Each structure stands twice: as C-alpha cells, then as structure tokens.
Structure 1
Amino acid sequence: MTRAARPERDDAGFSLAEVLVTMGLMGVVMMIFTGAILQVYRTNQATETLTEAQGQLATAFQRFDRELRYASWISTVGQVGTRYYVEFAGADPTQCRQLRLETAAFTSGNQGSGLLQLLSWTKGSPPASTARGQTIASQIVTTGVPPFFTRQLANEAPYASPSPSAAPVGADYVNDFQRLRVRLTTRSAAGKASIDVTFTALNTSRLTPAANDCSEGRPTT
C-alpha cells in the first residue's frame, strides 16, 4: 500500500492542562455533591434531636396534667442548694408528691443537663434527702430566670396567658383554685423545646390552708 492509502491515526491524546482542568471540574462537582449530602444529614439530625426534646416535654406535660389536675394542695416553691422544689398533695390527701429540678454540678459551659424528677410518698413517711425519684425529663436548660415553678394561690389574680407581662390582667378577678406554672426548656444536641403551662389543682379552693404536712418531703440543707 502506498502512504496515501494508509489510514491516518491521531496519537496526540490529552494535554496536561486538559487533564488538570477536567480533574478540577470533577473536584468541584464532588465538593458540591458532598456538601449537599452533609447538609441533608445535618438537617435530619437536627430534626431528630428536636423531636427527641419535644417528646421529653410532651411526656412531662402528660405526667404533670395527671398529677396536678387533681392535687388537693400545692406548696410554695423553694430552692435548697442547687435544687428547686415544689410539693403537692394528691386527690387522696395522704399521698404526697414532689417535683425536684436538679441543677447541681452544672456550669455555664454545660447549660443543658438539668434533671427533673418526681418523688412520691405517703404522708408521715417522707423520702430521704438523697432519695432518687422518677425521671420525668432530662437535659433541662438551667440558665433561665428561676423559679422554674411558680405557685398561684386561690384569691390571687391569675396571669392572662402563659407568658404574661409584669402585671396580671383583670384586677377584679381572682382564682378559685391553686395553680402551678411550669416553665421548662429541654435541649437535645442541637434541638431545644419549651413549655410554659399553668396547671389548675381542681381539688383546692379558697379555703385550702397554706400549710400541709406534705412539705415534710423537702430537705432543709
């Protein structure tokens, strides 16, 4: 065969510049793709943690509603050391309950580890000061303005909403029942959820005495 009849071959290939440009474009595409995947993962994780935090508060709310709705007495709210306490008597006045919010050993750098517990006993047999109660909610944010619980006696003007201004509304109206306002925020990783609810003790009245033997369950030191 003559040279003119032979097929021509292209052996030029790709230059180094073309290879580098292609690798650079592929790298950019991979970075965008990986960033999108990570963003979806972070969003999903934040949603799960927020759901967990909301679930804890929902459980706490249901327990409060059952325990406090039929309470026959609610104590004043107090603090002993780094714990906050409020006691109440059940529908059976011999059955005592205590909500205890522990904030011990938590620093400003660890603000989401408060522990809310519920203790129960029969009047006359209070628990030891070191007794552990049933955990209602954990990872409570403890940097809010205390008290986390606020008692309103019968004959006191109620707040108009769970988030009142400095002065209550309706100066001529007073409660017929004792009430307990609970303000809690729980944190789980990047998620936070809050409740601000006032519970009404339906077995109380304006004649309910301020003192009750269920206060025996609160430590003094």
Structure 2
Amino acid sequence: MTRSLRFGAQASEHDDTETPGDAGVSMIEIMTTLGIMSVLMVLFTGAILQVFKTTSATDALSEAQRELSNAFQRFDRELRYASWIGDPGTVGNRQYVEFAGPVPTTCYQLRLKPGADGLGVLQMVTWTLGTPPAASANGQTIASQIDLTTGVAPFTKQGYGAKPYASASASPGGAIVGGDFTSVFQRLRVQLTTKVAAGDAQIDTTFTALNTSNQTLATNGCSEGRPTT
C-alpha cells in the first residue's frame, strides 16, 4: 500500500514537469484581445453603415429621376398634340404656362407651387373652357421637390418661326439641324431640377405642339385660368 502511494506521487510530479503550458492566460492578454476585437467591430460596423448610406442615397436620386420621367409621360400626349401654347408667366412666386389640348375646349396649366426650403411642387390643372378653376385650387401633383433656386426658367415657349438652335446641334428627335432651322410649330421647353439629399436630378425636354401652325392665334380662352395673385 505504501509503495502504491509513493508511485502515485512520483507520477504526479512527472506530469507537472511535462505540461508547463497549462497555467492559462493573464488579464492583460484578455484585455488586449478584447480591445483589438472592439476596434475591428467598429471598423466593420462603420463600413456596413457607409454601404447602406450610399445605397440609400443612390436609391433616392434614382427615385427622383424616375419621378420626373414619369411626370413627363403623364402629360406628354397633351403637350405634343396641343392646339395652342400660351406665354409662360409669373404671378408672385408662382410660375405657370397654359395650353389647349387636342380638343381646343380642354385647357391645361402647368404651375410650380412654392414650398419650404426653396423647393416646390409641379402641378397640372385641367378644366373645360368657360369654367376656369378657382384661384386657390390645387392641381394634380406631377412632381415634387423641384428646385426653385436654379435661376433657370422652367417653361420657355418657342413660337412659330422661332430659331431655337444658335448653331448646328441635335434636335430632340436626334437629327442634326443647323442654326437656321425654323420651327413651323409652337414648342414648349420644360427644364426642371429635383433636389434630394443625394444630389440633383435634371430633365430638359422640348415638346412640339403638332396641332399648331402659323395660323394659331396668339391668344386663347384658356388664359382664363391664369392665376392673378
């Protein structure tokens, strides 16, 4: 019995000398590891947030551009087949332009209604000739967040006989025309900029009123819808 206990003690002493690495790690090593992991997590989280931020900004800008494009598609038919286009005007801080549709008794007005922070809303008002809308009436919202501080006229009329090109350039249809090109129709150029946090989305389109000619009168009853205040 005594021999057995002494042999166990010797074995225990032998094991201690063979596994010196079982002492564990110090508190300093643990804190250092946690510190490194924390820095890596902060960097990783920051990168993920930046990706989400960039994606959101890109989506917002794309949505603004898509809204403008959809807006033009909504009244493209009325403008392209308009029978009369009025002279754009400004009343107070509202900018507008009227035109008569393919049916001359159907009147339209595009107007920019100012909002906050230099942004506005593009609206379209529609009525039947002889029954103009009230001065305070709101139209159908076509596009929002329109930048009103660009200094560029949103509506520009090019009347019959106008020479819209100062030099040879591409027309809206893609053909190359010279500076002496003369329009035989009334045309309306619409230039708008939508402003979002991510940047600006712009659109510049010229509509040709195919139902106009040199016989189109300068005045039209659709002017009755013109704002006065």
> Does the alignment reach a TM-score above 0.5?
yes
For residues 141-195 of structure 1, give each alpha carbon's deviation from its aligned partner in whole angstroms, at most 9, with x where no partner exists.
11111421100001010234589xxxxx844321101111111111344253110
Unaligned runs of at least 5 residues, structure 1: 164-168
**Secondary structure of the corresponding residue to residue 31 of structure 1:** helix
Residue type at the aligned position of 2:208: T
Aligned to 1:66: 77
Identity of aligned residues (%): 57
Partner Cα separation in structure 1 for residue 57 and residue 171 of structure 2: 27
Aligned to 1:28: 39
Question: TM-score scaled by structure 1?
Answer: 0.87
Superposition pairs of residues 177-216 of structure 1, within 5 angstroms: 177-216=185-224
Aligned to 2:28: 17
| Structure with the higher helix share, 1 or 2 | 2
**Secondary structure of the corresponding residue to residue 77 of structure 2:** helix
Partner Cα separation in structure 2 for residue 172 and residue 182 of structure 1: 22
Partner Cα separation in structure 1 for residue 48 and residue 179 of structure 2: 57
Residue type at the aligned position of 2:101: G
Unaligned runs of at least 5 residues, structure 2: 1-5
- Which deviates more, 20-29 or 174-183? 20-29
Aligned to 1:78: 89
Partner Cα separation in structure 2 for residue 55 and residue 83 of structure 1: 24
The one of the two structures with greater contact order (alpha-carbon pairs below 8 A, sep at least 6) is: 1
**Secondary structure of the corresponding residue to residue 137 of structure 1:** strand
Partner Cα separation in structure 1 for residue 87 and residue 220 of structure 2: 11
Residue type at the aligned position of 1:72: S
Rg (Cα) greater in structure = 2
Shift of 1:11: 5.6
Question: TM-score scaled by structure 2?
Answer: 0.85
Superposition pairs of residues 49-198 of structure 1, within 5 angstroms: 49-103=60-114, 105-106=115-116, 110-111=117-118, 113-159=119-165, 160=169, 170-198=178-206
Partner Cα separation in structure 2 for residue 26 and residue 157 of structure 1: 68
On the 8 A contact 2:152/2:191 being kept in 1, the answer is no
Shift of 1:37: 1.2
Aligned to 1:166: none
Partner Cα separation in structure 1 for residue 178 and residue 93 of structure 2: 35
